[in-house]
Amino acid sequence: MGVFKTFVLGGIHPEENKLSSNAPIEIVPVPGQAIIPLGQNLGAPAKPVVKKGDKVKTGQLIAEAGGFISANIHSPVSGTVLKIDNVVDMTGFRRPGLVIKTDGDEWDENIDRSDELVTEINYTSQEIIEKIKQAGLVGMGGATFPTYVKLMPPPGKKAEYVIINGVECEPYLTGDHRLMLEKGPEIVVGAKILMKALKVDKAIIGIESNKQDAINLMTELTNKEEDITVIPLTVKYPQGGEKQLIKATVNREVPSGKLPIEVGCVVQNVGTAFAVYEAVQKNKPLFERVVTVTGKSVKKPSNFLARIGTPISKLVEIAEGMPEDTGKVIGGGPMMGKALPSLEVPVVKGSSGVLLMRDKESHRKPESACIRCSKCTIVCPMGLEPFLLARVSKLGRYDLAGNEKIMDCIECGSCQYTCPANIPLLDYLRLGKNKVGNIMRNRKK
């Protein structure tokens, strides 16, 4: 074993704390009622196609895409539509959504529920993209960008590589790791489907070296496939970011403000690859996903296969309850996740984990003045100057922030993690990014 590949600029090494990496994926019972927010993907929210009182089956279309960058939503349970109203979503805001009361678990007839592995891909590229679009697939890594949009390169651009992201660089989260161990063959077929959809002949699976068992298994599975390579990577956060992963695996750099397709790469999460397999080979739309429930005081850190719309409280209950010293509950990983306002929020397409932080580790330390140590600049994986961007955003100089490429920030939080003065750099960066984004959009109009 030599030195593994990794990206060059910046990066940090937070404590890994992969507490649940040995816990097999557990199937969560169907919830009594499912709360389904309509805005689960990046882009426009979906539009409901069912009415109050309608009977729906598991996997039935209940809301269709509300625009080009949008995704269909399918019923995660079978039962009756209780109401179409404002529901509490992951951020605690009451936004349009559906509530479905569960009655049994009757699946849509088209879904193949057998466990048999289907390796034969009998569809053309167009058919695959259409199927993925119909199944409402979004990026399962957390950004929830509709998958089918990524599979349609703009005219003149040609994809060369499909990169399957099995990095899972966020501390604590283990969902992708478990998925690779348990559904390895399916993920390989999913990768092949993606290759066929994009008409490329090279695929790369990037896995960090702290998941040696997954690397071994995936290498074994892809031994016979000449066109799929497994690349072990050095553990470094934020390697799971698209641009960082491309740099680490194929050593190409995505230009500022451009998408990965610019350098011929399409990155998909292993969770997405598995969902692609299910959508194309089994006709199963995206209505369940793997969620890690973890934390240092959690009695049983686990990985769950939960239906969309299951309240987080139910998952915590199965993980043997909320520890008494819980100070903060985070939706997602500790680096990029957001604190949840209550445990009654539902699992959505982008929920990768639930982290129950202990009270003593959950508080922010008091902010002090910037001492110009330049640590944030050193660790920034995008080569930005977070201290400067935070300063100009705080002062409202969004023109300067735009000039200093604030839009390239991937919001990984490395700067804030490393700041010895505990300045909430990421907060200001997000604010500035939001404002600059709005200004740029308005200018285009």
Partner 1 sequence: MDNIIIIAIIALGGLGLISAVILYFIASKFKVFEDPKIDEVEEALPSANCGACSFPGCRSFAEATVKSAKENKNIEGLFCPVGGNDVMQKVGELLGLDVEVQDPMIAVIKCNGTFNNSPAKIKYEGASSCAFAHALFTGEGGCQYGCLGHGDCVDACDFDAIHMSPETGLPVVNDKCTACGACVEACPRDIIELRKKGPKYRRIFVSCVNKEKGGPAKKNCSVACIGCGKCEKVCNFDAITITSFLAYIDFKKCTLCRKCVEVCPTDAIWEVNFKPRKPKPLTPEGSVARKPAPVRKNDDLLVTATEEKPEIISKTEDNPNA
CB-nearer residue toward partner 1: 383 or 396: 396
Q: Applying CB under 8 A, which part among 151-159, 236-244, 352-360, 428-436 lies near partner 1?
A: 428-436
Cβ-based nearer residue to partner 1, 96 or 153? 96
Residues in the chain, overall count: 445
Angstrom distances, CA of residue 369 to CA of 387, 427, 429, 443: 11, 16, 17, 35
126 binds partner 1 (CB under 8 A): no
Listed ranges 13-21, 123-131, 309-317, 425-433: which one lies at the site for partner 1 (CB under 8 A): 425-433
Q: Which is nearer to partner 1, 250 or 316 (CB)?
A: 316
Can you spell out the DSSP letters for 259-326?
-GGGGTEEEEEHHHHHHHHHHHHS---S-EEEEEEE-TT-SS-EEEEEETT-BHHHHHHHTT---TTE
Assess contact for 367 and 423: CB atoms under 8 A: yes
Q: Confirm or reject binding of residue 363 to partner 1 (CB under 8 A).
A: yes
Contact residue for partner 1 among 16, 435, 437, 439 (CB under 8 A): 435
Residue 36's DSSP bridge partners are 98
User: Quick check: 86 binds partner 1 (CB under 8 A)?
Assistant: yes
Which range, of 60-68, 305-313, 333-341, 405-413, touches partner 1 by CB under 8 A? Answer: 333-341
CA geometry: angle at 342 spanning 75 and 433, to 5°? 85
Which CB, 13 or 363, lies closer to partner 1?
Answer: 363
How many Cα neighbours within 13 Å face the side chain of 295?
29
Selected range binding partner 1 among 75-83, 215-223, 338-346, 376-384, rule: CB under 8 A: 338-346
Query: What gap in Å lies between CA 385 and CA 390, rounded to an integer?
Result: 9
CA contacts within 13 A on the Cβ side of 378 = 8
225 or 367: CB nearest partner 1: 367
Among 9, 57, 80, 91, binds partner 1 (CB under 8 A): 91
Contact (CB, 8 A) for 300 and 319: yes
Distance CA 36, CA 19 (A): 29
Residue choice 92, 104, 383, 420 for contact with partner 1 (CB under 8 A): 92
Q: Give dist(CA 86, CA 45) in Å, integer.
A: 13
Comparing CB distances to partner 1, the nearer of 183 and 433 is: 433
Taking residue 91's Cβ as centre, other Cβ atoms within 10 Å add up to 14
Alpha carbon distance 195, 160 (integer Å):
9
For residue 213, report the phi and psi dihedrals to the nearest 5 degrees. -65, -40
Is residue 74 within 8 A of residue 36, CB to CB? The reply is no
406 forms part of the interface with partner 1 (CB under 8 A): no
Min. distance of Cβ 430 from partner 1 in angstroms?
7
185 touching partner 1, by CB under 8 A? no
Counts of helices then strands in the chain (DSSP H, E):
14, 17
Binding residue (CB under 8 A) for partner 1 from 208, 286, 428, 436? 428
- Out of 55, 83, 94, 299, point to the residue binding partner 1 (CB under 8 A): 94
| Count of residues of this chain found to bind partner 1 when the rule CB under 8 A is applied | 18
CA torsion through residues 291, 296, 298, 301, sign:
positive
Residue 341 engages partner 1 in binding (rule: CB under 8 A): yes
Tell whether residue 431 is a contact of partner 1 (CB under 8 A): yes
Instruction: Choose which of 29, 93, 104, 201 interacts with partner 1 (CB under 8 A).
Output: 93
Contact region with partner 1 (CB under 8 A), list: 162-170, 182-190, 404-412, 429-437: 429-437
Is 325 a binding residue for partner 1 by CB under 8 A? The answer is no
Q: How far is the CB of 68 from partner 1 (least distance, A)?
A: 24
Give the helix/strand (H/E) hosting 267: strand 265-269
Tokens 């066929």 -> residue: 196
Residue 313 interacting with partner 1 (CB under 8 A): no
Which residues make up the interface to partner 1 (CB under 8 A)?
A: 86, 91-94, 338-339, 341, 363-364, 394, 424, 427-428, 430-431, 434-435
